[in-house]
Amino acid sequence: MVEFLPPALILIAAAFLIGPTRGVVRDVIVLGAPLLTLWAIWQVPNGVVTTVPFLDYVIEPVEGSELRRWFATIFGIMTFVGGLYAYRQAKWYELAAAFAYAAGAIGVCFAGDLITLFLFWEFMALFSTVIVWSGGTPAARAAGIRYAIMHLLGGIILKVGIEGVVIHTGSIDIQPMLATNFDTWLILIGILINAAAPPVSAWLADAYPEASPTGSVFLSAYTTKTAVIALILLFPGEPILIGVGLYMIMYGIIYALLENDARRILAYSIVNQVGFMVCAVGIGTQMALNGAAAHAFAHIIYKALLFMSAGVVLYRTGKSKCTDLGGLFRTMPITTVCGIIGALSISSFPLTSGFTTKTMISTAATDEGMMLVYFLLTAASAGVFLHAGIKFPWFVFFQKDSGLRPKDAPWNMSAAMIIFSVLCIFMGVYPESFYGYLPYAVDYEAYSAGKVLFYLQLLLFSGLAFFLLLPMMKRTLTISLDFDWFWRVFLYRFGKLVVDAGTEFRDVFMWRWQSVSAVYMDRLRRYFGQWGMDNKRGMFASAWPIGTTALWIAVLLSTYIVVHYL
């Protein structure tokens, strides 16, 4: 009967139990619940498994397919390894929020209708905000508020789009669509906000680095990749996604190259890597969708590995800026080696996972005759090697001697990094071992002499360029303005200007009103009240003789009659 229940319920139950439990019991929950969830994921058969009537619709909380199990599996693996990495260092409420966050991601994977997808989507937004706040600093609290506002906006846009589709089609089923009307455009925009597509991508680089060293590891895995599976399910072959993906790729590279903070480098790199997946969804062929799914799987592993190594550095030194670090390889060999493996994987170095997944996307572009897309993807691979493959490990672990001599990672953090390092290499050396689980049948040879030689030349010349231009690559204590400047600074200043102008206008208006009203009040007193030093009565306030009164009445009546007949 387990296949009839959403696997996400296991992690939700674990999230509730993490708080009240202690010691070994909590450890068993943190490490056991993800493994039980993985088992439940693979019990879900293809097709709609569970239905629940709701009003005039049929809710489908569990629908299985190869694609859905593929993403849910990596989310489950990430939860287990992330829990291992964090359970001795993270606060209990951060762990509980992380497990609820992961449950939302797995719930999205198996959602068979738009209503279920939206509910789990917002579930993720709620608990990921808690993880950001768990950073415990004023900057983390402020970033969490901005993060929540952005995802509230994205959720509203998605909800309105879903309502429009339901009203105009009468269906809540998740099925492929194209952005051809207002409703589907809103759904696409709502998903792209979660994918961190510019110009609304700055929330990622703003919030993720402010989380705790353990929290940022969980944040790196779920939100943007659930957006990828949503795009695959709803918008495969949408042409605009090719341009959006390419823009994300170049945007992420440029900002990562400019950045000084190690975790912000990795945050911008998420945007860059998700751009590859979005571009693949836009291409829309079976090869491209396989490439998007495979690259999402590999990306979660090596990106979490990179955030783990950066998190250990922050945990041991309290520093995250490249200008404050360097020479850590002397006392942190495990963290250094694991960080280098993650850097090589994200750079698509042969014999690592990134090479066996990212090249599928490039091949899909050439198969469709999209040579410009292919060349841009190839150039982007060189850029990724510059900012993540070399810059991150060089400035954090090597370059100058910062004088810091911290201990290496605690055993649980080391174990988590080693597990993901082994997976990065295993997927690079034996890609056929996981190709068979992809959504579509795979006829792809990852390694050929020409392809390996081409990528080695590309990466090695990129490395040569890095060291030749090393003086220009060194970072300084500067900040990079992003699109969020418009709503964090410009809109604030513009709003303040409007308020100040309104206040000044109000003051001037009130002064003029008081001046004018004083004059007219004086005149009214002259005619209807007492005025002057001797309190004279006004003309209409004093007593009139009967004859004068009768005369005025006669004049008024005569005037009325004349006006009436005219």
Q: What is the pLDDT of residues 430-467, one digit of tens each?
A: 998 888 889 888 788 888 888 888 888 877 877 777 77
Structure token pair of residue 95: 């762990």
Q: Residue 229: what pLDDT?
A: 95
Domain boundaries, the chain: 1-234, 236-483, 489-565
What is the rounded average pLDDT of the residues 468-482?
69
H helices present in 134-173, as ranges: 138-169
Q: How confident is the model at residue 542 (pLDDT cuts 50, 70, 90)?
A: low
Q: What is the pLDDT of residues 226-263, one digit of tens each?
A: 999 999 999 998 999 999 999 999 998 888 888 888 89
Letter for the amino acid at 296? A
**How many C-beta atoms surround the C-beta of residue 157 within 10 A?**
19
**What is the C-alpha separation between 88 and 186, in angstroms, rounded?**
42
Question: In sequence order, what are the beta bridge partners of 47?
Answer: 64
Q: Residue 1: what pLDDT?
A: 45
Is-above-0.75 flag for pTM?
A: yes
C-alpha 144 chain-centroid distance: 12
268 to 263, 274, 283, 469, 496: CA distances (angstroms): 9, 10, 23, 21, 31
